[in-house]
Structure 1
């Protein structure tokens, strides 16, 4: 009986914490994740765009955002109109004078909190000019999509060997002002000016994917043409057989020695 009461009490406590959005239930962002090393060792702090995104082959991306206001909420939208916290790591903050602090120091001086809907980063000095925040998060193999956390100019680096110049297979939304030629690392740079839309999306492909698709379509075309030719031949053979059996031969009344009815 006592065990049952304890179980009920624990369940009630968990339910209460969950409904209140307590970060302890969701685990928050651990110190290990906050201080993790960025995939390329450091972030593109010198980028001129308000937001600089580098997408990697391992389905992660790095984002460097101009700090706008006193805090930044990071989340992804679900399919029901709600929001889910963005799973971030390697968080860094750059002061206007260029000094960079790691995630745990940022959490102490400002704040990094996770709720049911978002990860909220509070900046140490509030709303100041020239500070930036950077983080790493997960993406997908052929598509990057996030809400527009900060409005302004965007620069997006596609993964090496990827392209976004062929509609249906690859595109940037809002439409890119420019898609650069591949750089020394075989990356394409997409620049988008004055983004004010609800989200930013980059869909990309590998040129070899199009080659494979072309081969598949060619094979499918040959198979389809062969199948059509086969059935047409079968139809002709069947028609010839019916004619040989006299099933499709037209006959006139005179063939049966009949005179037309009177008056005809």
Structure 2
């Protein structure tokens, strides 16, 4: 009896995960979608993510598309609508508008995805998503495209034990004190970056140095104790080589 109840509870959680109710995602907040945020539109990559401590700002080049569907994943690995805010669109001529500026510019939401529809083909669309921690990851919504991740100031991924970037085949460049990670083409379903603060590297180096010194001191003490034991054995007439 308990097992069917547990399975039913698990199914309920899986159905409702990532949604504010059992019957679907919560209603979109127009205030959130129309927040005023500035974006760096000067990007050559198909998708550019500028990461900060509590959010990231994404800019997508749409080319011949009029919509973009975006999603994240919940704890069960199921798709859920991405919690976007401050949605903007830049026309090919450079004019930037918000959702209130055009009836043809809209964000709709299903149980699994949020779909951004823009007024015309081409141009760029941008939005902001909350985040935290020192790991940034996102599905790749455009297959075979170029991607760029701009890390927060004073962070890096160069040390393998502290930083990790997936997939491979990327290049890094420091511009204005921030690391830019670039992929010319991404064929995988997602990208992931684990970075560290510059001060973390100093702490890690200091800790490694302390452990190294402690190891050397311990080894020296161990060798000294062995030699002292050998001396005592000789003093009492034991042949240490035969023993």
Query: Fold conserved (TM > 0.5)?
Result: yes
Cα 1:242–1:72 shift into 2, 3 Å:
same
Residue 167 (structure 1) aligned with residue 160 (structure 2): yes
Structure 1 position 35 matched with structure 2 position 34 = yes
Question: 2:99·2:106 contact (CA, 8 Å) conserved in 1?
Answer: no
Q: Which runs of 5+ in 1 are unaligned?
A: 1-14, 251-264
Write out per-residue CA displacement over residues 197-236 of structure 1, whole angstroms, 9 at most, x where no aligned residue: 1002222223332221121122223334444555666677
Q: For the aligned residues, what is the CA RMSD? A: 3.1
* Post-superposition offset of 1:43: 1.5
Cα distance in 2, alignment partners of residues 115 and 227 from structure 1: 62
The answer to whether 1:95 aligns with 2:91 is yes
Larger Rg: 1
Q: Equivalent residue of 1:200, what SS?
A: strand
Of 67, 70, 83, the match for 1:71: 67
In the alignment, what sits opposite 1:45? 41
> Which is strand-richer, 1 or 2?
2
Residues 90 and 124 of structure 2 are in contact (CA less than 8 Å); yes or no, is this contact kept in structure 1? yes
CA drift of 1:112 comes to: 1.3
Q: In the aligned structure 2, how far is the partner of 1:137 from the partner of 1:118?
A: 14
In 1, the alpha carbon distance for the partners of 2:222 and 2:159 equals 37
Q: Determine whether 1:153 maps to 2:152.
A: no
SS in 1 for 2:155: coil
Runs of 5+ unmatched residues, structure 2: 1-15
Superposition TM-score, scaled by structure 2 size: 0.74
In the comparison of the two structures, how many residue pairs are matched?
220
Q: How does 1:208-247 map to 2 (within 5 A)?
A: 208-227=199-218
Query: Contact between 1:66 and 1:150, CA under 8 Å: does it hold in 2?
Result: no
Give the conservation status (yes or no) of the 8 Å contact 1:29–1:88: no
Cα pair 1:44 1:52 within 8 Å, conserved:
no
1:17-32 map, 5 Å: 18-21=21-24, 23=25, 26=26, 28-32=27-31
CA distance in 2, matches of 1:157, 1:85: 23
